């Protein structure tokens, strides 16, 4: 993908660029985690468990991030909407957190609230944000997002859902009253989790629930919704 640098784009700043390059490189080794998890997935399948359920214990060391192109899209959407209050469900090691925080900083400052179940991932995400120079624009809540996000203040300009897929709809419903009108909601990995996310997709596409929504052909599918009601 061809990109154009601009002096007012924090993604071009050396600390941000170097940190993201390091993290994206590290994420290319995720295949090793999934290779180690494969016997558990097969055994789980024989016991009637889904692959997602069986792989959970192995994912504590996996990045499972947005790729660089998706990260740029997140940044540009946040910039275009002037987002200064962003919430992210599923922070992992902080790659998408940094893209979003860079946008918030370039929009004049604000806060990105991330969520992470694994304590060591939360610590790493905060350290990575500091290394990128955007640590003052982020916080990462530790624990189940369906609980930790209950006290988050709005209005929320942009919501990214990239955690456990069966929790995406509950998290959306929890935060929907705090979304500002015209807020953007993005849900990642729609293609590989088509069955698990069916209820979520049905909800955001149903006319009576306040959203207009469609799937963007980015990465593994990104459901892009805008609150209009």
Q: Tell me the per-residue pLDDT of 101-150, one tens digit each, with 9 for 90 and over.
A: 999 999 999 999 999 999 999 999 999 999 999 999 999 999 999 999 99
Q: Higher model confidence: residue 89 or residue 5?
A: 89
* CA atoms 171, 173, 174, 177: torsion sign: positive
pLDDT score recorded for residue 39:
62
pLDDT score recorded for residue 23:
95
- Per the prediction, the chain carries an average pLDDT of 89
Cβ contact 189:166 at 8 Å: no
How many whole angstroms separate alpha carbon 9 and alpha carbon 79? 10
Q: Domain for residue 108, yes or no?
A: yes
Going by C-alpha positions, the residue among 18, 39, 36, 27 that lies closest to residue 219 is 27
**pLDDT higher than threshold 50 for residue 1:** no
- Full domain range(s) for residue 100: 68-227
**pLDDT higher than threshold 90 for residue 182:** yes
Give the CATH number, domain containing residue 175.
3.40.50.150
Q: Domain for residue 25, yes or no?
A: no
Confidence of residue 2 (pLDDT cuts 50, 70, 90): very low
Q: Domain for residue 138, yes or no?
A: yes
Count of domains in the chain?
A: 1
Q: Domain for residue 185, yes or no?
A: yes
Per-residue pLDDT averaged across 190-196, rounded? 91
Q: Domain for residue 84, yes or no?
A: yes
Q: Domain for residue 129, yes or no?
A: yes
- Total-model pTM: 0.87
How many whole angstroms separate alpha carbon 178 and alpha carbon 4? 34
Q: Domain for residue 39, yes or no?
A: no
Per-residue pLDDT averaged across 202-218, rounded? 96
Torsions phi, psi for 111 (to 5 deg): -145, 135
3-state secondary structure of 215: strand
Burial of residue 92 (CB within 10 Å: 0-12, 13-18, 19+) is buried
Q: Domain for residue 23, yes or no?
A: no
pLDDT tens digit sequence for 149-158: 999 999 999 9
pLDDT above 70 covers a percentage of the chain that reads: 83
**pLDDT higher than threshold 60 for residue 35:** no
């Amino acid at each position: 993908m061809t990109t154009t640098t601009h002096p007012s784009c924090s993604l071009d700043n050396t600390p941000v660029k170097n940190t993201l390059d390091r993290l994206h490189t590290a994420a290319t080794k995720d295949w090793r985690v999934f290779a180690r998890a494969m016997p558990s997935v097969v055994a789980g399948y024989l016991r009637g468990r889904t692959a997602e359920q069986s792989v959970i214990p192995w994912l504590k060391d996996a990045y499972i991030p947005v790729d660089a192109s998706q990260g740029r899209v997140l940044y540009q959407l946040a910039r275009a909407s002037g987002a200064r209050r962003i919430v992210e469900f599923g922070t992992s090691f902080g790659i998408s957190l940094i893209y979003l925080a860079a946008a918030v900083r370039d929009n004049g400052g604000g806060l990105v609230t991330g969520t992470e179940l694994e304590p060591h991932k939360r610590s790493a995400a905060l350290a990575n944000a500091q290394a990128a120079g955007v640590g003052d624009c982020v916080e990462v809540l530790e624990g189940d997002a369906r609980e930790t996000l209950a006290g988050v203040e709005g209005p929320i300009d942009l919501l990214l859902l990239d955690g456990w897929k069966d929790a995406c709809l509950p998290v959306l419903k929890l935060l929907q009253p705090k979304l500002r009108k015209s807020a953007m909601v993005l849900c990642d990995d729609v293609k590989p989790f088509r069955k698990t996310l069916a209820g979520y997709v049905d909800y955001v596409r149903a006319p009576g629930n306040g959203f207009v929504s469609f799937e963007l052909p980015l990465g593994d599918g990104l459901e892009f919704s805008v609150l209009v009601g």
